[in-house]
């Protein structure tokens, strides 16, 4: 499991234990990854986050067109895996959770413990504004070197 | 907004390729995908129609390498260019750290470029973002077409580039200008981040 901010790790670990989820991804509504469990490649995490955020964004817009409140959650059941997707508010803004589960779990179990995860995250979230932390002064020099390496110029 | 993880020392930035339909946004990503070593890029995700027109977005994750000890990743998105897909354009634009505006250099597409540029400004404003404060570069694509069909980079600069941002002439099919454009927006986004980064 990896998380951008350490306070997310406890609630997420509890959720993983209880729900038996195979893959879990927490992201911002813009698709930036905040925490993940189960993915082995960083690129796969980013693609899953982009697609998950896209699904949530489009269903939120559909709800708005129907003059209805946003859908809280969506689920897809495949042959081998199920997928659960839900948006929720935290003191840090709106987040999205994407959970993939297998036959050792169930949609009901995932949904039940996801609701607890949302509550736990709200309780653990720091209330103070994030502090500004400036990157090292050598960042710009190394940036130019890295761009040369990547783009071959 | 860029995500800076000081614990795992990772930076993730979102770049959106914007512009009128058929200007070459997807072609930019396809060229990059084909040329960047596999270890430095993920799978390209395309949500397209049967006719290969972008329906929602294309997405390509890129690894820039380690900068100042931070593993730096870029998420490249395109928006659908057709006028009637504005709702999905707005969604993809959310949280963008930088914009590449891909203009079609053909003289007959000039009004489409202008309309798309105005649409970009409106959609950013609707999200509370002032276009003047967001890193943006222009790319004048299809410069390989016959000279009597297109406007040159200088003419397009005069007509579209009101803020005198960095611009690049390009031909996405052969790749001319594609990496120069990506490098241009990468520099702007990361230098802005270096000037005042924050923990997400």
User: How far, in whole angstroms, is CA B112 from its chain's centroid?
Assistant: 17
Q: What are the tens digits of pLDDT across the range A4-18?
A: 888 999 999 999 999
pLDDT confidence tier of residue B65, bands split at 50, 70 and 90:
confident
Cβ-Cβ contacts under 8 Å for A149 (sequence gap 6 or more): B65
E strand or H helix that includes residue B140: strand B136-141
Which residue of chain B is at minimal alpha-carbon distance from A151? B179
pLDDT of residue B199: 39
Q: Which of A6, A30, A143 sits opposite B95 (nearest CB)?
A: A30
* Lowest-confidence pick of A27-36, B38-47, B134-143, B187-196: B187-196
Q: What are the tens digits of pLDDT across the range B35-54?
A: 998 988 998 988 877 667 77
Tokens for A139, please give them.
């960042």
To the question of domain A2-129 being in CATH 3.30.1330.10, the answer is: no
d(C-alpha A29, C-alpha A26), whole Å: 10
Q: What is the mean pLDDT of residues A108-125?
A: 95
pLDDT of residue A135: 60
Nearest by Cα to B63 from B41, B78, B44: B41
Contacts of A87 in chain B (CB under 8 A): none
Determine which of A1, A3, A4, A132 to mutate to test the interface with B (most B C-beta atoms within 10 Å).
Answer: A4
CA distances from residue A151 to A1, B65, B179 in whole angstroms, order as listed:
32, 11, 7
Residue ranges of domains in chain A: 2-129
Q: Which of B56, B65, B96 sits opposite A146 (nearest CB)?
A: B65
| pLDDT surpassing 80 at residue B21 | yes
Contacts of B45 in chain A (CB under 8 A): 47, 50-51
Q: What is the mean pLDDT of residues B182-187?
A: 92
Determine which of A50, A62, A133 to mutate to test the interface with B (most B C-beta atoms within 10 Å).
Answer: A50
E strand or H helix that includes residue B99: strand B98-104
Which residue of chain B is at minimal alpha-carbon distance from A64? B87
Contact between A30 and B70 using a beta-carbon 8 Å cutoff: no
Contacts of B40 in chain A (CB under 8 A): 150
Which residue of chain A is at minimal alpha-carbon distance from B61? A43
Query: How many other CB atoms are there within 10 angstroms of residue A60's CB atom?
Result: 17
| pLDDT surpassing 60 at residue A153 | no
Cβ-Cβ contacts under 8 Å for B161 (sequence gap 6 or more): B138, B167
CA distances from residue B173 to A113, A121, B7, B27, B170 in whole angstroms, order as listed:
49, 47, 40, 7, 9
Tell me: ipTM over 0.85. no
d(C-alpha B11, C-alpha B16), whole Å: 17
Q: Which domains does chain B have, with CATH numbers?
A: 3-195 (3.40.50.300)
d(C-alpha A129, C-alpha A145), whole Å: 34
Contacts of A138 in chain B (CB under 8 A): 68
Torsion angle defined by CA atoms of residues A140, A142, A145 and A149, in that order, rounded to the nearest 10 degrees: -120
pLDDT confidence tier of residue A43, bands split at 50, 70 and 90:
confident
Q: SS3 of B128, please?
A: coil
Contacts of B74 in chain A (CB under 8 A): none
Distance from CA of A18 to the nearest CA of B (A): 26
Chain position carrying tokens 């395309």? B46
Sign of the Cα pseudo-torsion (A61, A65, A69, A72, in order): negative
Q: Which of B42, B95, B199 sits opposite A133 (nearest CB)?
A: B199
């Amino acid at each position: 499991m990896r998380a951008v901010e350490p306070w997310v790790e406890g609630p997420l670990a509890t959720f993983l234990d209880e729900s038996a989820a195979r893959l879990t991804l927490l992201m911002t509504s813009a698709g930036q990854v905040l925490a993940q469990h189960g993915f082995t490649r960083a690129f796969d995490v980013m693609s899953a986050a982009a697609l998950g955020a896209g699904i949530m964004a489009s269903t939120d817009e559909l709800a708005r067109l129907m003059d209805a409140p946003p859908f809280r959650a969506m689920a897809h059941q495949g042959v081998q895996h199920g997928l659960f997707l839900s948006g929720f508010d935290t003191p840090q803004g709106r987040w999205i959770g994407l959970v993939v589960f297998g036959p050792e779990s169930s949609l009901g179990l995932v949904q039940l413990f996801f609701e607890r995860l949302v509550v736990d995250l709200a309780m653990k979230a720091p209330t103070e504004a994030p502090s500004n932390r400036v990157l090292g002064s050598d960042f710009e020099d190394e940036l130019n070197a890295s761009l040369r390496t990547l783009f071959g110029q | 907004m860029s995500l800076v993880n000081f614990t795992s020392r990772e930076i993730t930035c979102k770049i959106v390729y914007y512009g009128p339909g058929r200007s070459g946004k997807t072609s930019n990503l396809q060229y990059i995908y084909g040329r960047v070593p596999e270890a430095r890029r993920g799978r390209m995700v395309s949500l397209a129609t049967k006719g290969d027109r972008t329906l929602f977005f294309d997405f390509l994750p890129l690894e820039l390498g380690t900068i100042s000890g931070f593993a730096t990743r870029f998420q490249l998105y395109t928006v659908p260019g057709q006028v009637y897909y504005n709702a999905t354009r707005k969604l993809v634009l959310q949280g963008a750290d930088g914009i590449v505006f891909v203009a079609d250099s053909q003289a007959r597409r000039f009004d489409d470029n202008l309309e798309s540029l105005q649409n970009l400004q409106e959609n950013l404003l609707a999200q509370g973002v002032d276009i003047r404060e967001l890193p943006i570069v222009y790319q004048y694509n299809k410069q390989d077409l016959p000279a009597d069909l297109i406007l040159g980079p200088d003419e397009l600069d005069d007509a579209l580039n009101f803020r005198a941002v960095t611009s690049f002439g390009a031909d996405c099919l052969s790749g001319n200008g594609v990496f120069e454009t990506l490098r241009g927006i990468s520099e702007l986004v990361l230098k802005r981040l270096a000037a005042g980064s924050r923990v997400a």
